[in-house]
């Protein structure tokens, strides 16, 4: 696996197809933010299948042990992908949502800060994990998820997302930290 956003001609067509099904909502959740809403992509059966197939084909031979998804939209993609790859699924939740002993990590995002948690027994040392979210903006959420998994002794094989917002610097930050990263499409500008 390489650090990449799909850009080749055949996969570029798929990227373009999926990108066109992502709605942009200006000034949400605050003025100046261009929110990339994946719900239209998920609502359409064909688009959802194409999206999942892109990820399944990428990871079907990756020798993974588990898929971890970040609250909340990472749960959608991550759980389906875990099922398709015949792997278990680990939720990384917002603070206060998990009922058992947890490990927490605070992080910054493009319009505030937050904390995510994982169950202390969510994965075993040495397990190979695919970390999934819907979007890479500042990279804070994915970096926090990675830190949680690594604190439990897991190895994050790659971070994966549908959308990259490269101008916010998150994908560069994640790549510079040594995390291989795969995204399906990008939106220049934010």
Q: What confidence tier does 4 reach under pLDDT thresholds 50, 70, 90?
A: very low
* Residue 129 contacts residue 157 (beta carbons within 8 Å): yes
> What is the set of active-site residues?
73, 110
Q: What is the CA radius of gyration of the chain?
A: 16
Distance CA 131, CA 110 (A): 20
Sequence-ordered list of residues with C-beta below 8 angstroms from that of 18, at least 6 positions apart, any chain: 41, 47, 50, 51, 54, 162, 184, 185
Q: Enumerate domains of the chain plus CATH numbers.
A: 4-186 (3.40.50.2020)
DSSP H helices in 20-139? 39-43, 45-59, 73-84
Tens of pLDDT, residues 121-176 = 999 999 999 999 999 999 999 999 999 999 999 999 999 999 999 999 999 999 99
């Amino acid at each position: 696996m390489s650090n990449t956003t799909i850009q080749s001609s055949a996969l570029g067509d798929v990227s373009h197809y999926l990108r066109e099904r992502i709605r942009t909502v200006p000034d949400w959740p605050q003025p100046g933010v261009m929110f990339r809403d994946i719900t239209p992509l998920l609502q359409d059966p064909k688009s959802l299948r194409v999206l999942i197939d892109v990820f399944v084909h990428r990871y079907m031979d990756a020798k993974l042990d588990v898929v971890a998804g970040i609250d909340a939209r990472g749960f959608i993609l991550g759980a389906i992908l875990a099922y398709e790859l015949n792997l278990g699924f680990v939720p990384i939740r917002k603070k206060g949502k998990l009922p058992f002993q947890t490990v927490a990590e605070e992080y910054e995002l493009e319009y505030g800060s937050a904390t995510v948690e994982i169950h202390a027994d969510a994965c075993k040392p040495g397990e190979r994990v695919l970390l999934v979210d819907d979007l890479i903006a500042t990279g804070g959420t994915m970096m926090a998820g990675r830190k949680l998994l690594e604190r439990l002794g897991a190895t994050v094989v790659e971070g994966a997302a549908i959308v990259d917002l490269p101008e916010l610097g998150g994908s560069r930050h994640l790549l510079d930290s040594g995390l291989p990263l795969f995204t399906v499409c990008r939106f220049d500008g934010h």
